Structure 1
Amino acid sequence: MENTEGNAIELHGDEEIIEVIDLNEMEPDPDDLADDLEDVDFEDPGNADDEGWETEDEMEAEAEQDDSEFTFSKHTGSVFCVSLDPKTNSLAVTGGEDDKAYVWRVIDGEVLLECTGHKDSVTCAVFSHDSSLVASGDMSGLIKVWKLETKEEICSFEVGDLEWLEWHPCAPVLLAGTDDGNVWMWKIPSGDCKTFQSPASQATSGRVLPDGKRAVVGYEDGTVRVWDLKQGNAVHVIKGQDGHQGALTCLAFNKDGSLVLTGSVDGRAKLVNTTTGKVVGALSVEGGKAKGSKDEGETNSVESVGFCNILPLAAVAYLDGTLAIYDLSTQALRHRCQHEAGIVHLQWEESSSMVSTCSLDGALRVWDARSGNMVSEYHGHTAEILDFAINREGSLAVTASGDNQAKVFCLQRPDR
């Protein structure tokens, strides 16, 4: 997908595999896991200020309606990505077309860290599991890791063109997927590394499962692989008729990681059992063609997917602006929520039936998956929203947009 200026917004080794993290012996306790990692041998592959933060009253609003509480305008180009720190949800990190990432405090807008030195647009910026580290990655494949306490860069890596960046859920271990099909894994801060190699097809999306022992990676050729992070081998490969017939665009797992939902440009979302590697369901809207498409072969690409934590529901967002809510027990379409423009990203609230979407029309919307009704709608951006993040309570959202701004919205609902 591209923004209105034509900029890519898709956030989507060695031959010898070496033994690294003994993840099978990991306990669920993060401290024990971190201790275990200290004894693991890796192989080196050889290789503050608050400026830019304005209240709504202080800024010159370009939009007729601005529902945001604050606008962060430090970036000088499109803002491609945003994440909230997992420990407190009080910090945001944004990455943009200006080759920079910023870590800033949501409550008062103070800039805590300016991540500089990148050579291209920063399309990935994520916090570690304990919120002590931030990784920023640019399109060219330059990845930098920063320690928030000291505000210093502690290591950096250069790989092929970057597709995605993901922290391990309970250890200082960073994974990345690149356009040459490799998946990289580093121990931080030492930088010790191993790679997971596959046929030359872009590793377009990837997630580490909640057990911390496996990662699911989707590829441009429609293949999905479940990798064993200790052994370095693919324990399951889903391809051909079982796989997708187009590039993977997104994937998500349910709360316990037993199911993965994958989305593709082929217009389908597939449910995969991560234990058996079997496809247990395929979800698609009727017709399978993008709305208004003149090309009979043009499918309605899936742009984002996600599971509800409290109900057996899944959401699939499509390029034609359809948000589809599916019942997992029957795999039937329960609700079809239509947007006027293509959906970029969706996110379920952690402990409710509310699912939020951002789209190319610059609006953020909240939907009740039980009824299929839109609960609230928020405006303020003058260009497409490219990413957003919601806090655990579902009371606050931070958006990133092609208008060079990030905004903070307070989410209000009748039950609050």
Structure 2
Amino acid sequence: MDNNTQGNAIELHGDEEIVEVIDLDEMEPGPDDLADELEDVDFEDAGNADDDDEGWETEDEMEAEQDDSELTFSKHTGSVFCVSLDPATNSMAVTGGEDDKAYVWRVSDGEVLLECTGHKDSVTCALFSHDSSMVATGDMSGVIKVWKVDTKEEIWSFEVGDLEWLEWHPCAPVLLAGTDDGNVWMWKIPSGDCKTFQSSACQATSGKVLPDGKRAVVGYEDGTVRVWDLKQGTAVHVIKGRDAHQGALTCLACNKDGSLVLTGSVDGCAKLINTATGKVVGVFSVEDGKAKGSTDKEESNSVESVGFCNILPLVALAYLDGTLAIYDFSTQVLRHRCQHEAGIVHLQWEESSSVVSTCCLDGALRLWDARSGSLVCEYRGHAAEILNFTINREASLAVTASGDNQAKVFCLQRPDR
């Protein structure tokens, strides 16, 4: 493994510019500390994306031979791309879809609590704030809206370039977004005070605010990774060159204390990064039992989702070819390879167990025991691919989003419960 790493000094590349960001320690700053007025910032107008028949949907719609779900939410009139549960109670879900709408609805009975309208394109990001009081929705064209859940009012909106991802701060009313032009935006909500983190002109494809609330990790289309200090407005670490990925980042996740970040890429590799030092401390690929980097770009197998187990030193990688790879990250040894019938879209570990769940293009939700690598349960009910899912804290239910225009709630029953 190559150990070339970046030091603590800030490194600028090309036209890269770093702009001071919001001081999260002072939620009511003075005039000198406020972000530049929004009208002083030039924004690129993003038009509506053309409808594309080659989207997420498979060519042949699958027939749902069985339905294991407890509830089906059918308000959307197009594919459902994203789903999140409210972090405070896990009693509300928000889904976004191809119909340019998002819905907040009650998980117990499917009752619509809020209909989020006014978007120009498919809603691909929809998530609750840390206290569940607000919902942010974002569409592909870059229109972002924030809604107050209890009053059902739109309290803020903004338009950026084509949107790649949206992320709430873990303990403050602050929203971050990554865009196609490489910028990362940060706003106070609902005041709209704004700062940007600017880098090279390539997509900011994935981002995550670390649990300490002071740093964010952002992955880019050129394979680089930056660790941003949100208070100082500096890139404290830049992972580039031979330490960077050899293709665009597709996903990233952090462990519980934020000391480690795992990144996945179209190059078929995942990299383990120490967020304190910026060093790459592990590289994973399913080429063989011992983790190593991919050498054949043409045959690389994209990593679609990654995640850490909270109770064991294990990580999981989900691949486009349907492989779920479970590694011991302390030794970088491949423990289990769990094969799916079609490509995996997303994975999620349970909060307090060694069970990892996956959703797949074959329309199934599967639970795997990471200790043994065995399949625990399989749930079906969708007539098309599952595009996203989430599991509640107790791991007692899952909510799925599918290309069949539906979201479903599954009760997760296991022999050990």
Please confirm whether the aligned pair reaches a TM-score higher than 0.5, indicating the same fold: yes
Q: Which amino acid aligns with 2:313?
A: P
- Measured in 1, the distance between the counterparts of 2:221 and 2:299 equals 17
- Measured in 1, the distance between the counterparts of 2:221 and 2:72 equals 36
Q: Does 1:321 align with 2:346?
A: no
How many Å apart are 1:109 and its aligned residue? Answer: 1.1
Q: Is the 8 A contact 2:80 2:403 kept in 1?
A: yes
Mapping of residues 327-338 of structure 1, within 5 Å = 327-338=328-339
How many Å apart are 1:233 and its aligned residue? Answer: 1.6
Q: Which amino acid aligns with 1:101?
A: A
SS in 2 for 1:64: coil
After superposition, give the CA deviation of every residue in 1:301-353 in whole Å (9 maximum; x if it has no partner): 00000000011100000011000000011010001100010000000001111
Q: Give the 3 Å change call, closer, same or farther, for CA 287–319 of structure 1 in structure 2.
A: farther
Q: Does 1:146 align with 2:147?
A: yes
- Structure 2 residue aligned with 1:182: 183
- Structure 1 residue aligned with 2:112: 111
Q: Is the 8 A contact 1:17 1:194 kept in 2?
A: no
SS in 2 for 1:145: strand
Mapping of residues 5-404 of structure 1, within 5 Å = 19-23=20-24, 26=25, 36-39=26-29, 41-46=34-39, 63-286=64-287, 297-404=298-405
SS in 2 for 1:189: coil
Q: Give the 3 Å change call, closer, same or farther, for CA 154–238 of structure 1 in structure 2.
A: same
After superposition, give the CA deviation of every residue in 1:19-49 in whole Å (9 maximum; x if it has no partner): 44334xx4xxxxxxxxx312352222226xx
Q: Which amino acid aligns with 1:198?
A: S
SS in 2 for 1:95: strand
- Measured in 2, the distance between the counterparts of 1:394 and 1:176 equals 28
- Measured in 2, the distance between the counterparts of 1:98 and 1:256 equals 38
- Measured in 1, the distance between the counterparts of 2:22 and 2:113 equals 32
TM-score, normalised with respect to structure 2: 0.87
How many Å apart are 1:161 and its aligned residue? Answer: 0.2
- Measured in 2, the distance between the counterparts of 1:285 and 1:328 equals 13
How many Å apart are 1:196 and its aligned residue? Answer: 0.2
TM-score, normalised with respect to structure 1: 0.87
Q: Is the 8 A contact 2:16 2:199 kept in 1?
A: no
- Measured in 2, the distance between the counterparts of 1:157 and 1:21 equals 17
Identity in percent: 85
Q: Give the 3 Å change call, closer, same or farther, for CA 138–239 of structure 1 in structure 2.
A: same
- Measured in 2, the distance between the counterparts of 1:391 and 1:242 equals 35
How many Å apart are 1:137 and its aligned residue? Answer: 0.2
- Measured in 2, the distance between the counterparts of 1:198 and 1:296 equals 25
Q: Is the 8 A contact 1:196 1:232 kept in 2?
A: yes
How many Å apart are 1:156 and its aligned residue? Answer: 0.3
How many Å apart are 1:15 and its aligned residue? Answer: 8.7
Q: Which amino acid aligns with 1:303?
A: E
- Measured in 2, the distance between the counterparts of 1:85 and 1:331 equals 34
After superposition, give the CA deviation of every residue in 1:260-315 in whole Å (9 maximum; x if it has no partner): 00000000000000000000000010169xxxxxx981311000000000111000
Q: Give the 3 Å change call, closer, same or farther, for CA 375–16 of structure 1 in structure 2.
A: closer
- Measured in 1, the distance between the counterparts of 2:72 and 2:242 equals 47
Q: CA RMSD in A?
A: 1.7
- Structure 1 residue aligned with 2:3: none
Q: Which amino acid aligns with 1:208?
A: V
How many Å apart are 1:232 and its aligned residue? Answer: 1.4
Q: Is the 8 A contact 1:312 1:329 kept in 2?
A: yes
After superposition, give the CA deviation of every residue in 1:154-193 in whole Å (9 maximum; x if it has no partner): 0101000000000000000000000000000000000110
Structure 2: which 5+ runs fail to align?
1-14, 42-61, 290-295
- Measured in 1, the distance between the counterparts of 2:251 and 2:84 equals 17
How many Å apart are 1:258 and its aligned residue? Answer: 0.3
More relative contact order, 1 or 2 (CA 8 Å, 6+ apart): 2
Q: Give the 3 Å change call, closer, same or farther, for CA 255–89 of structure 1 in structure 2.
A: same
Q: Give the 3 Å change call, closer, same or farther, for CA 297–392 of structure 1 in structure 2.
A: same
Q: Is the 8 A contact 1:44 1:191 kept in 2?
A: no
- Measured in 2, the distance between the counterparts of 1:43 and 1:275 equals 30
After superposition, give the CA deviation of every residue in 1:188-235 in whole Å (9 maximum; x if it has no partner): 000110000001010000000001011000000000000111121211
Q: Is the 8 A contact 2:182 2:204 kept in 1?
A: yes
- Measured in 2, the distance between the counterparts of 1:374 and 1:38 equals 51
Q: Is the 8 A contact 2:17 2:198 kept in 1?
A: no
